């Protein structure tokens, strides 16, 4: 490592507290200082490159330093960088909203903006609760799936169910109920879990404002996947019991599951759809919550009736972020991304077969551009995820396993050769564990 990078890392550790990290780990595990990036490659200060196998926490859809997105942001920089979004508007956000409403499942026709996924989840929860309250009903509970993840702010954490993140805060979270999640991708599991859901809604439906789900893939919950039928059945049941359905597509939206939005595969329209992560291609923070005319109308009245949704974030609707999002949608259109990704998805599927033969592999799963390999036989103390991370990093691949689950969420521009490199490295890493 260069002298400069070493100095910089020391200064980093002196001043910075990193996200989702036990900082003491960095006594032994070096921070990686990245100097530049292009396409799927991250470059450090020592002339090493790493293939970004996780799209830098799932946000980078079209590679790093993408010329097209970059040029659009540069133009906007000298035109309008930001403006207060209460009482004011601008062209990039109007264009973006028109486009999103056109692309989204039918009925989603109003856009409310924020700047990160957790805030978007908070917005959907608050809007749902207030919708019922504005209608004269108090429904104090939210329903979510076991093993779900919806973000880290207190409301979003409360509807999540990843104990590692949530348990510390059990005394101070909001009222939630968890229902059984489908445990695999079979139709039978989808039906079984939907039966459980109906039992719960029959009993407690009128106490529940909304049911929030990550359609098809529970990403932070170890990339657990389930059949679209569950989403279809959940939609029917929510409608039957007057409970809103919130589709948290923060991670799965924008083509991750093979379709533009995961809900499409279930042919349903949720009452709220939350989008973030990939929306700007990894350039700038942005989030949008799409909802229906019905929800919008329940807040629409004379000011002194006090039914407005009085929620805001300082950076709401930032024009630079909106321009990046429009550029991302341009790429989807101009390069026929959803269709072209099908070839990449099929290629990955073929390569994944090999993993099933490894004795320490419990399950291999894939939904579109998300794939995961679950290992068996390791205790949390062994931290195999960390071992795999280090093994792959030393060979030029960035993987960041979730516990015993190694996953791939590459940028869509990844080539077959680069997929080979990522998956072959993962294969070697996993088989090297057998030999240990
Ligand atoms: C990442 C994520 C969030 C939270 O988004 P942030 O921008 O990290 O706050 C919410 N829901 C899901 C499904 C996510 O994957």
H-helix or E-strand spanning residue 431: helix 416-435
Neighbours of 245 (CB within 10 A): 25
SS3 385: helix
Return d(Cα 269, Cα 397) in angstroms, integer. 38
Return d(Cα 262, Cα 268) in angstroms, integer. 10
Neighbours of 89 (CB within 10 A): 11
Topology of the domain comprising 70-334: 3.40.640
Write out the two tokens for 13: 């550790």
3.40.50.1780, 3.30.70.1400, 3.40.50.1220, 3.90.1150.10: which CATH number matches 32-65+336-435? 3.90.1150.10
Dihedral sign of CA atoms 161, 392, 351, 335 in order: positive
Write out the two tokens for 301: 């009245």
What pLDDT is recorded for position 436? Answer: 58
What pLDDT is recorded for position 16? Answer: 98
Tell the residue nearest (CA) to atom 6 of ligand 1: 117
Residues of the chain with CATH 3.90.1150.10: 32-65+336-435
Which of 353, 382, 316 shows the shortest CA–CA distance to 115?
A: 316
Return d(Cα 392, Cα 394) in angstroms, integer. 5
What pLDDT is recorded for position 1? Answer: 56
SS3 203: helix
The segments of the chain whose pLDDT lies below 70 read: 1, 435-436
**∠ Cα 97 265 283 (to 5°):** 40
Asked if residues 243 and 143 have their Cβ atoms less than 8 Å apart, the reply is yes
Distance from the CA of 80 to the center of ligand 1, in angstroms?
Answer: 28
- Where would I find the H helices in 16-90? 55-58, 67-77
Q: Which atom of ligand 1 is nearest to the CA of 219?
A: 15
- Find the radius of gyration of the CA atoms of the chain: 22
Tell the residue nearest (CA) to atom 8 of ligand 1: 117
Distance from the CA of 154 to the center of ligand 1, in angstroms?
Answer: 13
Residues 6+ apart with CB under 8 A from 164: none
What pLDDT is recorded for position 413? Answer: 98
Q: Which residue is listed with tokens 């979270």? A: 173
Return d(Cα 422, Cα 410) in angstroms, integer. 9
What pLDDT is recorded for position 147? Answer: 97
Which of 219, 161, 229 shows the shortest CA–CA distance to 194?
A: 229
Tell the residue nearest (CA) to atom 15 of ligand 1: 251
Residues of the chain with CATH 3.40.640.10: 70-334
Length of the chain: 436
Asked if residues 382 and 36 have their Cβ atoms less than 8 Å apart, the reply is no
Q: Best substitution site from 153, 222, 251 to test ligand 1's pocket, by max atoms within 8 Å of Cβ?
A: 251
| Cα first-last separation, the chain | 28
Indicate the burial class of 71 (C-beta count within 10 angstroms; 0-12, 13-18, 19 or more).
exposed
Global pTM?
0.98
Dihedral sign of CA atoms 412, 120, 69, 333 in order: positive
Distance from the CA of 289 to the center of ligand 1, in angstroms?
Answer: 13
């Amino acid at each position: 490592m260069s002298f400069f990078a070493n100095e910089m890392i020391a200064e980093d550790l002196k001043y910075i507290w990193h996200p989702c990290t036990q900082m003491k780990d960095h006594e032994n595990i070096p921070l990686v200082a990245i100097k530049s990036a292009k396409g799927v490659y991250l470059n450090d200060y020592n002339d090493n490159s790493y293939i970004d196998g996780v799209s830098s926490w799932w946000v980078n859809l079209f590679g790093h330093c993408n010329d097209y997105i970059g040029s659009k942001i540069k133009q906007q920089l000298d035109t309008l960088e930001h403006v207060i979004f209460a009482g004011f508007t601008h062209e990039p956000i109007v264009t973006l909203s028109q486009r999103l409403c056109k692309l989204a499942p039918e009925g989603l026709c109003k856009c409310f903006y924020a700047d990160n996924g957790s805030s978007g989840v908070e917005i959907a929860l608050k809007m749902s609760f207030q919708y019922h309250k504005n209608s004269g009903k108090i429904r104090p509970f939210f329903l979510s799936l076991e093993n779900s993840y919806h973000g880290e702010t207190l409301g979003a954490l409360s509807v999540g169910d990843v104990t590692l993140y949530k348990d510390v805060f059990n005394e101070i979270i909001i009222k939630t109920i968890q229902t059984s999640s489908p445990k695999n991708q079979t139709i039978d599991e989808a039906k079984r879990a939907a039966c459980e859901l109906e039992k719960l809604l029959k009993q407690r439906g009128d106490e529940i404002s909304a049911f929030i789900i990550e359609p098809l893939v529970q990403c932070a919950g170890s990339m657990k996947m389930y059949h679209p039928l569950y989403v279809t059945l959940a939609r029917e049941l929510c409608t039957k019991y007057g409970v809103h359905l919130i589709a948290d597509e923060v991670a799965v939206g924008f083509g991750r599951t093979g379709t533009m939005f995961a809900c499409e595969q279930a042919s349903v329209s949720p009452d709220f759809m939350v989008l973030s992560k990939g929306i700007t291609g990894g350039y700038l923070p942005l989030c949008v919550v799409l909802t229906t005319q019905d929800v919008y109308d329940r807040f629409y009245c004379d000011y002194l009736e006090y039914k407005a949704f009085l929620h805001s974030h300082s950076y709401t609707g930032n024009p630079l972020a909106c321009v990046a999002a429009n550029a991302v949608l341009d790429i989807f259109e101009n390069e026929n991304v959803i269709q072209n990704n099908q070839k990449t998805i099929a290629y990955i599927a073929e390569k994944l077969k090999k993993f099933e033969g490894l004795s320490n592999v419990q399950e291999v799963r894939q939904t579109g551009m998300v794939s995961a390999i679950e290992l068996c036989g390791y205790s949390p103390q062994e931290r195999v995820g960390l071992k795999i991370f280090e093994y792959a990093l030393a060979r030029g691949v960035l993987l960041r396993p979730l516990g015993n689950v190694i996953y791939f969420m590459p940028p869509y521009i990844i080539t077959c050769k680069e997929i080979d490199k990522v998956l072959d490295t993962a294969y070697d890493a996993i088989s090297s564990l057998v030999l240990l």
